[in-house]
């Protein structure tokens, strides 16, 4: 069983004459034991909570609270199903 949600990252570059940014789309994957991003993997044993802060444009930040800190992911769609599935797997309320 795998549940996924897309998130975006922005890379900015500046040179003497111009500034540019590149937006990349990645998937945050929820498995039975972890949440995995393009950059790292979060074991359920290190995750304290998962929360969401929506913006008025429909996107928002999904926060993964761990014992190493809070990691944010800019998501385009509502992560409610992702969060509910995480809480169901880990039996957190």
**pLDDT value for 89:** 92
- Distance in angstroms (rounded) separating the CA atoms of residues 20 and 81: 34
Distance (Å, rounded) from C-alpha 58 to C-alpha 85? 21
Checking if the pLDDT of 92 tops 80, the result is no
Q: Write down the pTM of the prediction.
A: 0.86
CA atoms 73, 77, 82, 84: torsion sign: positive
Per DSSP, the three-state class of 85 is: helix
pLDDT band at residue 46 using 50, 70 and 90 as cut-offs: very high
What does the alpha-carbon distance between residue 78 and residue 21 come to, in Å, rounded to a whole number? 25
Is residue 52 a contact partner of residue 83, using CB atoms and an 8 Å limit? yes
**Structure-token pair, residue 71:** 């990691």
pLDDT tier, 17 (very low <50, low <70, confident <90, very high otherwise): confident
pLDDT one-digit tens code per residue, 34-44: 999 999 999 99
């Amino acid at each position: 069983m795998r549940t996924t949600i897309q998130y975006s990252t922005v890379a900015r570059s500046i040179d003497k004459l111009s500034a540019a940014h590149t937006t990349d789309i990645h998937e945050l994957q929820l498995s039975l034991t972890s949440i995995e991003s393009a950059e790292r993997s979060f074991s359920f044993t290190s995750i304290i909570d998962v929360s969401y802060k929506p913006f008025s444009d429909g996107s928002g930040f999904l926060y993964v609270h761990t014992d190493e800190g809070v990691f944010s992911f800019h998501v385009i769609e509502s992560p409610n199903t992702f969060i509910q599935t995480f809480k169901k797997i880990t039996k957190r309320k």
